[in-house]
Structure 1
Amino acid sequence: MALSSLATVADLEAAMRLDAGSLSSTQADLALRRASARVRRYLGQDISLVADDTIEVPGGERVLAVPQRPLVVDGTHTLTVVEISVPGSVETTLTENRDFTRLGNELTRGYPWYAPTRTMGWPWRQQQGVWAPKVRLTYSHGYAEIPDDIVDVVLDLASMNLSNPENLRSISIDDYARTFASETIGNAALTPGHKSDLRPYRRPAFSVAPS
């Protein structure tokens, strides 16, 4: 499923101080998609709200950090956690506050409430109180409303692309001359300032990756 852009055409027109409808919707949409893709690639996050995403991640530790953040659990968005043990790939659905606890984006495994059996790998192949070798998560993640500092970066990148669509270094017409910023040449790229603004949302290097 394609993710939507992290800002709207109306936002872009306002950022560029243009009247509503001034931008070609095709060009504006393309600029916003490209800018959103660059931001998502840098962050390693979807950012937009995604509901009921199912993914398998490696376990083996006491604490499991969900790959996509923030984790959203409320009356509309539920969290389903299934341990996949070896041998036999036995699947066990766990219950929050009985088998594990949740704090922010981290799930901490408790001791099993059920009687361990050899089929489930307890205790011969798996230490009690840690996650099974593989865990299946069905969870919701991201922001229903994109944070303003992320929107600002996307709009800045999109504005750069639209201000220099032909990737020119400079332009001169009669007595008029303009030199474009280097960031707008060869497609707008994230600047050190952009990266600093985005850093609080970036996936930590130690976060688990999809298997």
Structure 2
Amino acid sequence: MALPPLATVADLEAAMRLDAGSLSTAQADLALRRASARVRSYTRQDITLVEDDTIDVPGGGRVLAVPQRPLVVDATHSLTVVEISVPGSVETTLTEDTDFTRLGNELTRGYPWYAPTRTMGWPWRQQQGVWAPTVRLTYSHGYAEVPDDIVDIVLDLASMNLSNPENLRSISIDDYARTFASETIGNATLTSGHKADLRPYKRSAFSVVPS
């Protein structure tokens, strides 16, 4: 499923101080898609709201951080957590506040209050208080409204692309000369300032397997 751009054509026209309808819709859409892809690639996040996403993530520790953030759990968005001890084995569906607790984007596996019974959802012989090797999550994540600082970066990149569509280093007409920023040549890329602003949204890399 293709994710939507992180800003709109109307936003882009406003950022470039252009009248509504001034930009070619096809060119503006392309610039926004390319800029959004840059941001998503760097942060490793979808950012926009995705509902009922199912993935398998590695367990093996006590705390499991969901790969896509923020985790959204409310009256219309549920969270389903299933442990898979061994591929092809019986799957165990866990209950929040009984088998695990949730704080922000982290799920912490609970300890049984007495042993060695099957409390807290743990089978016999499985290490207590630690997630199974594989955990299947069905959850919603992302922002219903894209944060302003991310929108600003996407608009900045898209504006760079549109300001120099022919990838010129400089132009000179009579006594007028203009030199373009290196970031606009060949496709606008994230600057060090952009990356610093995106750092709070970035997650570290680890493999997830779509279910």
Query: TM-score if structure 1 supplies the norm length?
Result: 0.93
CA distance in 2, matches of 1:195, 1:9: 23
Structure 2 matches for 1:83-102, cutoff 5 A? 83-86=83-86, 89-102=89-102
Change (3 A) 1:32 1:197: same
CA distance in 2, matches of 1:193, 1:87: 44
**2:168 corresponding residue in structure 1:** 168
**Higher alpha-carbon deviation: 137-146 or 77-86:** 77-86
Confirm whether residue 137 of structure 1 aligns to residue 137 of structure 2: yes
Contact between 1:45 and 1:68, CA under 8 Å: does it hold in 2? yes
Q: Give structure 2 stretches of 5+ with no counterpart.
A: none
Confirm whether residue 122 of structure 1 aligns to residue 124 of structure 2: yes
> How far is the alpha carbon of 1:143 from its aligned partner?
0.2
CA distance in 1, matches of 2:18, 2:152: 16
Number of residue pairs the alignment of both structures matches: 205
Structure 2 matches for 1:59-78, cutoff 5 A? 59-78=59-78
Confirm whether residue 190 of structure 1 aligns to residue 190 of structure 2: yes
Residues 31-62 of structure 1: CA deviation (Å, up to 9, x unaligned)? 00000000000000000000000000111111
**2:54 corresponding residue in structure 1:** 54
> How far is the alpha carbon of 1:174 from its aligned partner?
1.4
**1:209 corresponding residue in structure 2:** 207
Contact between 1:82 and 1:94, CA under 8 Å: does it hold in 2? yes
Residues 83-138 of structure 1: CA deviation (Å, up to 9, x unaligned)? 11237511011000000000000000013589449xx8631xx3111111111000
CA distance in 2, matches of 1:195, 1:43: 9
**2:6 corresponding residue in structure 1:** 6
Q: Give structure 1 stretches of 5+ with no counterpart.
A: none
Contact between 1:122 and 1:128, CA under 8 Å: does it hold in 2? no
The one-letter code of the counterpart of 2:166 is E
Q: CA RMSD in A?
A: 1.8
**2:30 corresponding residue in structure 1:** 30
> How far is the alpha carbon of 1:204 from its aligned partner?
3.3
CA distance in 1, matches of 2:30, 2:88: 48
Change (3 A) 1:136 1:87: closer
Residue aligned with 2:158, SS: helix
Contact between 1:67 and 1:209, CA under 8 Å: does it hold in 2? no
CA distance in 2, matches of 1:83, 1:67: 16
**2:110 corresponding residue in structure 1:** 110
